[in-house]
Amino acid sequence: MNALQVAVSCVAASVGTLAVLSGLSRLRFARLTGAFLCRLGPSSRWRGRRADWRFRRTRVVWVGDVLLVQSGLLRLGVTPVSAQIPRGVSVESLAPSEVRRLGPRPVALRLTTADGRPLVVATSAPNRTSLVGPFLAASLSGLPEAPRGRGA
């Protein structure tokens, strides 16, 4: 074996190992109770511009009032984001063209991080209750009204 073959085999082994670790990390995170697929972005309407959503989707999960975000190029890391919901904010519906690859009815929630920066988390409509996490009151407004019958 020459040096080039050894170098190529070392690189191939490293890439293979990283791919397996990345896949296992994503699978473990996806199996966490309450974890959901989303896109993150800044405040969606700043000076009339559309939101600049992050290029890739990621998975997040609420642990108390901390949002754990799967991060990194290979999604091997977890970034904790201490977040709160500003008063009067609720889950809002988005147009499917506004945020890609989240299904036909994406929804978003505006958060404020501990250092005061705005953050918007968008996901598909079936993940609405997971999106609000410990802030369940934020999911109540925006829901369709209950049908009214004779006795109501």
Show the domains of the chain with their CATH numbers.
3-139 (2.30.29.30)
Residue type at 2 in one-letter notation: N
Residue type at 115 in one-letter notation: D
Rounded Cα gap, residues 9 and 14, in angstroms: 9
Q: Which residues pair with 59 in a beta bridge?
A: 37
Tell me if residue 20 falls in helix, strand or coil.
helix
Rounded Cα gap, residues 32 and 44, in angstroms: 28
Rounded Cα gap, residues 125 and 151, in angstroms: 31
137 pLDDT exceeds 70?
Answer: no
- Residues 6 or more apart whose CB falls under 8 angstroms from that of 29 comprise 35, 59, 61, 70, 75, 78
pLDDT class of 132 with cuts at 50, 70, 90: confident
- Residues 6 or more apart whose CB falls under 8 angstroms from that of 137 comprise none
pLDDT class of 100 with cuts at 50, 70, 90: confident
Tell me if residue 73 falls in helix, strand or coil.
coil
- Residues 6 or more apart whose CB falls under 8 angstroms from that of 71 comprise 58, 77, 78, 79
Tell me if residue 22 falls in helix, strand or coil.
helix
Judge whether 128 and 139 are in contact, CB under 8 Å: yes
Q: Which residues pair with 78 in a beta bridge?
A: 70
| Residue 125 DSSP code | G
Taking only the tens place, the pLDDT of each residue in 28-72 is 888 888 999 999 987 544 444 555 777 788 999 999 889 999 988
Write down the pTM of the prediction: 0.75
